[in-house]
């Protein structure tokens, strides 16, 4: 059973991680946020865009369950969508990505606070990295979003330090 303390703690930790990620963009412009600074293709704005899309998709899963149509991992278009989630496309801006991330976070919090508990569960979609027949509760989804956001905060910190020497922490 979910306690208010558990829900509050999970949402607070996720909000803190979002703040750390946004902080890595403090004082940079769109060009700097789009610049690669390591051997990786990752950029600051690309990380925020990706984490935002990932959180939106996982909360949609928590609300509705897996998509009706399974993903075809043999289709190159599937992987192109993944690549596109890490970069600005035509018409997208740093400001727009950051505003979108704010909206995603607010929707996540609103949804989680509306639930009687975090036990609602759905079977995971078929994917090579998920155990067959496994299900995730809203709690599992929140922990996954938290893990993903924290991982990308670390990436963003390295990118920002490589960009201009600034660090998120320390």
Residue by residue, what is the 3-state secondary structure of the chain? CCCHHHHHHHHHHHHHHHHHHHHCCCCCCHHHHCCCCCCCCCCHHHHHHHHHHHHHHHHHHHHHCCCCCCCCCCCHHHHHHHHHCCCCCCCCCHHHHHHHHHHHHHHHHHHHHHCCCCCCEEECCCCCCCCCCCEEEHHHHHHHHHHHHHHHHHHHHHHHHHHHCCCCCC
Q: Which segments of the chain have a pLDDT < 50?
A: none
- pLDDT reported for residue 73: 62
- pLDDT reported for residue 123: 95
- pLDDT reported for residue 126: 83
CA-to-CA distance for 135 and 36, rounded, in angstroms? 37
pLDDT in tens, 124-146: 988 888 899 999 999 999 999 99
- pLDDT reported for residue 146: 98
pLDDT in tens, 32-42: 999 999 888 89
Q: What pTM, to 2 d.p., does this model score?
A: 0.91
- pLDDT reported for residue 86: 82
- pLDDT reported for residue 3: 65
């Amino acid at each position: 059973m979910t306690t208010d303390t558990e829900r509050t703690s999970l949402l607070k930790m996720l909000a803190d991680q979002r703040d750390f990620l946004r902080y890595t963009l403090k004082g940079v412009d769109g060009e700097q946020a789009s610049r690669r600074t390591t051997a990786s293709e990752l950029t600051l704005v690309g990380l925020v865009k990706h984490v935002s899309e990932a959180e939106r998709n996982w909360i949609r899963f928590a609300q509705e369950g897996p998509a009706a149509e399974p993903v075809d991992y043999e289709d190159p278009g599937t992987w192109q969508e993944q690549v596109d989630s890490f970069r600005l496309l035509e018409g997208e801006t740093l400001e727009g990505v950051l505003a979108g991330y704010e909206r995603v976070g607010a929707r996540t919090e609103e949804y989680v606070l509306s639930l009687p508990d975090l036990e609602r569960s759905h079977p995971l979609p078929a994917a090579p990295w998920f155990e067959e027949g496994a299900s995730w509760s809203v709690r599992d989804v929140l922990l996954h979003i938290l893990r993903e956001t924290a991982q990308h905060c670390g990436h963003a910190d390295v990118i920002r330090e490589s960009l201009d020497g600034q660090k998120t922490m320390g």
